[in-house]
């Protein structure tokens, strides 16, 4: 007979814990609503440029192995990264998958919003719409998982 009240209290306690854990997620989603709209508007502006051939200076800042934290010149032709040059030593980097394309940066922003990252700071180019700085801290209580991406000097290639 005494087991039934114990299980009732246990179930009520678990329900309270679940509700409390869900509430911050909902609040986070609401806080990110302006980021979603801003991302959509800028992505549309970027796509309207119809740039297929361009280059930019890219840097990923994080607690990661090189070529992270190194400025790279990225060349894009027909929407594909075709060449990456380490600007510290002018060496060509063979791994074309490391630097993020502009479209990949938009996907990273979308993913951070969907994952309810604790902090997302984004700056967009006002003329072309591409992200110039994306800083994400997925969990403030964790150290060394923050990442920042920067894109500078984007220019059209022939």
> What are 2-28's pLDDT values in tens digits?
666 655 655 565 555 444 443 333 334
3-class DSSP assignment, residue 143: coil
Give the mean pLDDT of 99-126. Answer: 94
Contact between 128 and 154 under an 8 Å Cβ cutoff? The reply is: yes
> What are 109-120's pLDDT values in tens digits?
999 999 999 999
Long-range contacts of 110-118 (CB under 8 A, 24+ apart): 110/39, 112/136, 112/138, 113/32, 113/35, 113/36, 113/39, 116/25, 116/28, 116/29, 116/32, 118/28
Q: Which residue has the tokens 């010149």?
A: 73
> What are 25-57's pLDDT values in tens digits?
333 444 668 999 999 999 999 999 999 999 999
pLDDT of res. 50? 94
pLDDT tier, 143 (very low <50, low <70, confident <90, very high otherwise): confident
Distance CA 101, CA 26 (A): 31
pLDDT of res. 27? 34
Distance CA 6, CA 9 (A): 5
User: Is residue 67 reached through a cis peptide bond, with omega within 30 degrees of 0 on the bond before it?
Assistant: yes
Distance CA 121, CA 133 (A): 8
- The phi, psi pair for 111, rounded to 5°, reads -65, -45
> What are 53-90's pLDDT values in tens digits?
999 999 998 877 777 789 999 999 998 999 999 999 99
Contact between 137 and 117 under an 8 Å Cβ cutoff? The reply is: yes
Distance CA 101, CA 114 (A): 20
Give the mean pLDDT of 133-146. Answer: 86
Domain ranges of the chain: 3-156
């Amino acid at each position: 007979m005494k087991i039934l009240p114990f299980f009732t209290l246990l179930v009520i306690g678990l329900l309270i814990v679940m509700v409390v854990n869900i509430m911050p997620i909902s609040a986070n989603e609401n806080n990110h609503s302006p980021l979603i709209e801003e991302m959509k508007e800028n992505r549309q502006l970027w796509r309207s440029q119809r740039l297929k051939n361009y280059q930019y200076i890219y840097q990923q800042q994080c607690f990661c192995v090189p070529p992270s934290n190194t400025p790279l010149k990225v060349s894009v032709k027909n929407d594909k990264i075709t060449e990456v040059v380490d600007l510290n030593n002018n060496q060509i980097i063979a791994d074309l998958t490391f630097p993020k394309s502009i479209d990949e940066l938009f996907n990273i922003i979308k993913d951070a919003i969907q994952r309810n990252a604790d902090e997302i700071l984004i700056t967009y180019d006002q003329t072309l719409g591409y992200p110039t700085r994306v800083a994400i801290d997925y969990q403030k209580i964790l150290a060394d998982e923050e990442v920042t991406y920067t894109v500078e000097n984007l220019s059209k290639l022939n």
